[in-house]
A and B are shown apart, each in its own frame.
Chain A
Amino acid sequence: ELKVEQNPLFLSMQEGKNYTIYCNYSTTSDRLYWYRQDPGKSLESLFVLLSNGAVKQEGRLMASLDTKARLSTLHITAAVHDLSATYFCAGGGTSYGKLTFGQGTILTVHP
């Protein structure tokens, strides 16, 4: 049974700083997903990582996948207030797209 754990669960950052959210998973997962959720809103897909060594970037966010270490990271560069949200990673996807989510990381970016 796939288990997914994120850390940290809470992250308070200053604008302009860099930080990384870590996502560990327990068994083989062919793919890894990152989602964003704004307060009171639904989930929005950020990245889908499909193979070992995959790296994807969008603006100030960069996600990577190391299947050997069973680890994905979401790196935030020069944080801005608009990045404040909850970020989820999820593994699985091969069985009808069934996903197992991590607990979520609540990111707050302060001026």
Chain B
Amino acid sequence: DVKVTQSSRYLVKRTGEKVFLECVQDMDHENMFWYRQDPGLGLRLIYFSYDVKMKEKGDIPEGYSVSREKKERFSLILESASTNQTSMYLCASRPTGQETQYFGPGTRLLVL
């Protein structure tokens, strides 16, 4: 079974803090994705990566950065957290040549 894990289920941070969200997949997938999920907006793509050290902006990259130093790990960084970044963050991975994205359990982030 494919397993995508995220470092925290719930996180509370203060405005201005630097926040790291970690995602690890155990199936050697090339492609990894970070989404945020907000009610009524569905999932919106923040960044994705198709290989180690490679990254591409998604639809809403402002205020975020990412890091992929190892194939299995994809990190989302909030350089200076703001209250409008309070959201559910979902990580996903997908092997090249297959259709399905496999999602992690999500991290619910509250920025005070």
Which residues of A approach B to under 8 Å, CB–CB? 4, 6, 9, 31, 33, 41-45, 48, 50, 88, 90, 93, 96-104
Which residues in A have their C-beta under 8 angstroms from that of B61?
A: none
Give the distance to chain A from B56, nearest Cβ to Cβ, in Å.
7
B42 x A98 contact (CB < 8 A): no
A98 x B48 contact (CB < 8 A): yes
- Given A43-B90, A48-B99, A101-B44, A96 contacting B105 (CB threshold 8 A): no
Which A residue sits closest to B30, measured CB to CB? Answer: A96
Residue B84 CB within 8 A of the other chain:
no
Which residues in A have their C-beta under 8 angstroms from that of B103?
A: 42-44
Which B residue sits closest to A45, measured CB to CB? Answer: B100
B contacts with A, residue count (CB < 8 A) = 25
Give the distance to chain B from A99, nearest Cβ to Cβ, in Å.
7
Which residues in B have their C-beta under 8 angstroms from that of A48?
A: 99-100
Which B residue sits closest to A90, measured CB to CB? Answer: B43
Residue B12 CB within 8 A of the other chain:
no
Residue B1 CB within 8 A of the other chain:
no
Contact with A along B37-49 (1 / 0, CB 8 A): 0001111110010
9 contacts between A and B (CB under 8 A): A43-B43, A43-B92, A45-B101, A45-B102, A88-B43, A90-B43, A99-B33, A99-B45, A101-B35
A96 x B45 contact (CB < 8 A): no
CA distance A97 to B51 in the complex (A): 13
A97 x B31 contact (CB < 8 A): yes
Of listed B43, B100, B102, B103, residue having the most chain A CB within 10 A:
B43
CA distance A6 to B40 in the complex (A): 10
CA distance A31 to B100 in the complex (A): 11
Further 4 A-B residue pairs, CB within 8 A, beyond A6-B42, A96-B56, A98-B48: A42-B105, A44-B103, A50-B99, A97-B101
Residue B50 CB within 8 A of the other chain:
yes
Which residues in A have their C-beta under 8 angstroms from that of B45?
A: 98-100
Which residues in B have their C-beta under 8 angstroms from that of A103?
A: 40-42
